[in-house]
Copies of this chain bind each other. A is one copy, B any other.
Amino acid sequence: MENKKGNITIYDVAREAGVSMATVSRVVNGNPNVKPATRKKVLDVIQQLGYRPNAVARGLASKKTTTVGVVIPDISNPFNAELTRGIEDIATMYHYNIILCNSDLKPLRELQLIETLLEKQVDGLLFLGSAITEEHRSIFNATPVPVVLAATHDEKNEIPYVNVDNIEAAKTATSVLISEGHKRIGFIGIQLTNSIQGYPRYLGYKKALEQHQLPFDETLIEIGNGRYQSGYEAMKKLLEKDPSISAVFAATDEMAVGAIHAIQDFGRSVPDDVSVMGCNNIPIASQVRPLLSTVSVPLYDIGAVAMRLLTKYMNNEEVETDQVILQFDLELRDSTRIKEWHEGAF
């Protein structure tokens, strides 16, 4: 019955059930063109033999692997974990498996991973990371395997993507702070070379300032790597440079929480002395005191929609738009003083 090796194949089942391989294949694949009696007999033999279809052989013969590759910077970052969760759920729903690969945002490694995934004959590819380069684009364009970018974009609009408008998100966040009456608003950003949470959010911050005729001051800017500790350090520097700073917008929640703690450790209170806005709305935003006001980016949805879009491409379904921009939301909690805000309300 169960054998430690020498796997039993579709051929064994066929022989044992007294039918052809084709019939067994039909039964296994739920093809309706099988007489119920035959089906039952085959099913019994399968059960009895403990037959398990070989997906690799199937993949070779059918040219489909029901597997999608996902390239992701770092799974231990809650931002990506949330995205992945959305991807996973939809993938499961559509019966796809996922090969997950960490790129650490290293361009060379990204390219290698994409190669490997393509070698593995994935039916589709989801790419999360920074904006894609010419090299990515040339691989993506050369392969028949559909690709969707999640929480990333393609400047040339050649590759489909799902994202939010990061400039607008940052602009809104900053505007909230401005509407509280702050004049000197700090910004804790991510390297401007990062074209997702980096540059666009910097730009949004700047735009908000401009729109409200506030001067842009380099000394109010600090750059971190998106994680907690860097936010803490950045805020410390800001506080040292200008102890009178009364508001700060951090490009990520983790950095915002770091900033909150830096402010508190500095002997100041949030939001009484300093207001703090984050961005993304990952779990930690509501696991801190005071609760972090932040821009709610639909991470889960970005992942889910990207995966859904990919399934459409994989099935050659009609697709309206290749570029999907999801709406973000404002989550005003306790690290800012304002509790309501409308575009152009002040």
Query: Which residues on A are within 8 Å of B, measured CB to CB?
Result: 2, 4-5, 50, 52-57, 59-60, 65, 67, 74-76, 78, 81-82, 84-85, 88-89, 92, 97-102, 115-116, 118-121, 142-144, 228, 254, 257-258, 261, 264-265, 283-284, 287-289
Known A56-B56, A81-B75, A288-B288; contact A116-B97, beta-carbon cutoff 8 A = yes
- Chain B residues near A85 (CB, 8 Å)? 74-76, 102
Query: Cα distance A56–B101 when bound, in Å?
Result: 18
Query: Cα distance A2–B141 when bound, in Å?
Result: 9
Counted per complex, copies of this chain come to 2
Q: Judging by beta carbons under 8 Å apart, are B81 and A76 in contact?
A: yes
Q: Judging by beta carbons under 8 Å apart, are B4 and A99 in contact?
A: no
Known A4-B142, A261-B289; contact A57-B60, beta-carbon cutoff 8 A = yes
Query: Cα distance A25–B287 when bound, in Å?
Result: 55
Q: Judging by beta carbons under 8 Å apart, are A120 and B97 in contact?
A: yes
Given contacts A4-B143, A55-B121, A56-B59, 4 further A-B contacts (CB under 8 A): A2-B142, A97-B120, A98-B100, A99-B100
Query: Cα distance A81–B257 when bound, in Å?
Result: 20
The residue that A55 contacts in the complex, of B120, B254, B261, B287, with Cβ under 8 A, is: B120
Query: Cα distance A153–B133 when bound, in Å?
Result: 45
Shortest C-beta distance, A118 to chain B (Å), equals 6
Residue of B nearest to A232 (CB): B287
Q: Which 6 pairs across A and B sit closest by C-beta, in order of nearness?
A: A2-B142, A100-B100, A55-B119, A76-B81, A56-B59, A55-B120
Q: Judging by beta carbons under 8 Å apart, are A52 and B102 in contact?
A: no
- Chain B residues near A4 (CB, 8 Å)? 142-144
Q: Judging by beta carbons under 8 Å apart, are B119 and A52 in contact?
A: yes
Q: Judging by beta carbons under 8 Å apart, are A264 and B289 in contact?
A: yes
- Chain B residues near A78 (CB, 8 Å)? 76, 78, 81
Shortest C-beta distance, A88 to chain B (Å), equals 5
Query: Cα distance A57–B65 when bound, in Å?
Result: 12
Q: Judging by beta carbons under 8 Å apart, are A56 and B121 in contact?
A: yes
Most buried by B among A52, A76, A101, A257: A76
- Chain B residues near A2 (CB, 8 Å)? 142
Query: Cα distance A2–B65 when bound, in Å?
Result: 22
